[in-house]
């Protein structure tokens, strides 16, 4: 079959439009977020808005937040954490709603003394109540290179992944009376702050301020979600994350991560819950 120049051009236009409709949007720190605290300690490092740093010293930490709110979405970023002695520091990437009965989905990285591993702390808050912590030691040094951390939040589940490997799934269990975050739009936040009273070995290891400023790096920020505006949300058409589940391969990867690298699971903490673990665990 032969095509004229005009026909070939029309096909090219249609192809480009189709490609754009399925492409993953690459975010920019310049236009998608604002550094909302830190008095200059948070900085976008390049003209294209792909790299951002947050710093902490004895006076203050720093943080940024998304310009938009989302009711469901997929949020991911690559991070390189504070190197060396990071005891007492907390580096975060999380979703949170405002108010006193807020919803929240957390990645928090708890620093440690040199030569000891970070603890990746995950939690889900619904209506102001958390107490659903799972913690991990990672299978790599998160200070040497950038690694990808992702939260997928849809009506049926929340999936936490590290470099594409699921480490945790929090399912919608409203059918047995467990609240699930589904009504409150959330912003994406990231921060670097000091919590030496609890972050490292329950507060036994304090922050060594002679090592300040502490700096963490974020790059390739991307959020695809149902944008909340004027009291309603608007979802991208045919977004795979909106119905994403874990197939058997994903379940097997999650079991591998949890069996080898999980260091705390609220579902097995009978001392903390002497009357029985939360219903979502059963």
Which 8-state DSSP code applies to residue 272? T
Query: Rounded to whole angstroms, what are the CA distances from 226 to 39, 161, 164?
Result: 31, 20, 22
224 in catalytic set: no
Residues found in the chain = 282
Q: If we measure between CA atoms, which residue out of 158, 176, 156 comes closest to residue 167?
A: 158
Active site residue: 104, 194, 196, 205, which one?
104
Active site residue: 76, 108, 194, 196, which one?
108
Residues in contact with 128: Cβ distance below 8 Å, sequence separation at least 6, in sequence order? 100, 101, 102
Beta strand ranges found along 1-88 (DSSP E): 33-37, 42-44, 51-56, 62-66, 69-80
108 in catalytic set: yes
Core vs surface per residue 244-262: b (16+ CB within 10 A) or e: bebeeebeebbeebeeebb
Active site residues: 104, 108
């Amino acid at each position: 079959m032969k095509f004229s120049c005009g026909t070939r051009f029309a096909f090219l236009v249609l192809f480009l439009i189709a490609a754009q409709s399925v492409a993953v949007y690459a975010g920019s720190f310049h236009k998608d977020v604002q550094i909302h605290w830190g008095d200059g300690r948070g900085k976008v490092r390049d003209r294209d808005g792909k790299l951002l740093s947050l710093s902490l010293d004895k006076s203050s930490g720093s943080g940024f937040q998304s310009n938009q709110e989302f009711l469901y979405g997929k949020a991911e970023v690559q991070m390189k954490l504070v190197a060396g002695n990071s005891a007492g520091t907390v580096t975060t990437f999380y979703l949170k709603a405002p108010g006193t009965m807020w919803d929240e989905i957390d990645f928090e990285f708890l620093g440690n003394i040199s030569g000891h591993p970070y603890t990746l702390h995950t939690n889900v808050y619904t209506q102001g109540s958390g107490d659903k912590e799972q913690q991990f030691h990672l299978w790599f040094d998160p200070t040497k290179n950038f690694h990808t951390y992702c939260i997928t939040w849809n009506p049926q589940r929340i999936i936490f992944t590290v470099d594409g490997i699921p480490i945790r799934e929090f399912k919608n269990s409203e059918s047995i009376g467990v609240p699930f975050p589904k009504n409150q739009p959330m912003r994406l936040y990231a921060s670097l702050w000091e919590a030496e009273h609890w972050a490292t070995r329950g507060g036994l290891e304090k922050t060594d301020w002679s090592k300040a400023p502490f700096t963490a790096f974020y790059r390739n920020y991307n959020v695809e979600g149902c944008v909340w505006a004027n009291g309603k949300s608007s979802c991208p058409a045919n977004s795979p994350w909106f119905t994403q589940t874990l197939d058997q391969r994903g379940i097997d990867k999650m079991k591998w991560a949890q069996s080898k690298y999980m260091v705390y699971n609220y579902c097995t903490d009978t001392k903390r819950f002497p009357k029985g673990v939360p219903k979502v665990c059963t």
